[in-house]
Chains A and B, each alone.
Chain A
Amino acid sequence: MSTDPAAPRQATGGPRIEETEVIAPLVVNTGRVDDAVLLRLAGELDMSTAPELLARITALATGGTPRLVVDLTALTFCDSAGLTTFVRGDRRCAEAGGWLRLTGAHGHVARVIEISGVDDSLGYRPS
């Protein structure tokens, strides 16, 4: 079945769907901030979405841009798989002479990062 995101999700003869759900659980937007790459995460970071993020970070680290600012402002969920991804990503960046910093975490995402202590290991400071 082809999906057109702009098309209203209304099945003929079926129940009417009034609200459009976001299908992709994690969206990653890339930008630049000073001499670093900005990764804006939106959605949920768990074991199903973490591998893709780590692949993205690894590609940037090994592709000559190992300085990453990961913006978590629009991240609504982060679990142990997410924490692991930040730690591994930080390592990949460090191996390439760079760093990975987290910014914008709030609510429960900030809580998980703080109680795990990952913020200290990455040099993260609450914004």
Chain B
Amino acid sequence: MTDDGHHMPDAVVPTAEPTLLVERFSRGQVTDLRHALTACAEAAGLCDQRLDDFVLAVNELITNAVRHGGGAGELRLWRAGHALVCEVSDGGAGIGPDRLANHERPAPDTAGGWGLWLAGQLSDSMRVATGPAGTTVRISTTLDGTAGRMADPAENGERVE
């Protein structure tokens, strides 16, 4: 977020790394875009559970953009070394600081609040830039990674005695 409160995409897609998918989307295109993303991520070498995790994580970002981010957004997918990076931007009113600071798993009996939490759980890294002019969320997943993300109980906010 910059001083005037407007968010800016904080990096330009590296020119050496070709963009795999760029798509503007709105309500009604969520399913088709998810299918396109799946094909691109699979072609880039992502497979099995890591593919499913990444697709779900991105799906949550798309859903958030449509539901809370002004009804539309833009998705960019590219490869950065051994990682696959996806950025979803919207022009909504932004995510409140309380919501952003809360990394705990939503209570199971609450209807809602799962999207951003799931996106963080199912990706290797997540960065959120948000302000009154919109939100950009960037997530990445390692293409040759084999480590299980859920192996670290601290990431879940749960303690194993």
Of the candidate stretches A5-13, A34-42, A63-71, A82-90, the one touching chain B is A82-90
Q: Which residues of A contact B114 (CB under 8 A)?
A: 80, 83-84, 116
Whether A46 pairs with B108 at a CB distance below 8 angstroms is no
Classify the secondary structure of B's interface with A.
helix
- Please tell me the number of chain A residues within 8 Å of chain B, measured between CB atoms: 25
Tell me the complex Cα distance, A33–B7, Å.
Answer: 53
Main secondary structure of the interface of A (DSSP, over half): helix
Are A111 and B118 in contact, with the CB atoms below 8 A?
no
From the candidates A25, A77, A120, name the one contacting B108 in the complex (CB within 8 A). Answer: A120
Instruction: Evaluate contact between B109 and A25: CB separation under 8 angstroms.
Output: no
User: Whole-angstrom distance between the alpha carbons of A112 and B53 in the complex?
Assistant: 9
Tally B residues with Cβ within 8 Å of A. Answer: 26
A77 to B108, CA, bound (A): 19
A81 CB contact (under 8 Å) in B28, B63, B105: B63
Q: Closest Cβ of chain A: how far from B119's Cβ, in Å? A: 9
Tell yes or no: A28 within 8 A of B by CB. no
Q: How far is the CA of A108 from the CA of B57 in the complex (A)?
A: 12
Can you give 10 contacting A-B residue pairs, CB < 8 Å? A46-B31, A49-B31, A79-B60, A79-B118, A80-B60, A80-B118, A107-B52, A115-B118, A115-B150, A115-B156
Chain B residues in the interface with A (C-beta under 8 A): 28, 30-31, 34, 49, 52-53, 56, 59-60, 63, 66-67, 105-106, 108-112, 114-115, 118, 121, 150, 156
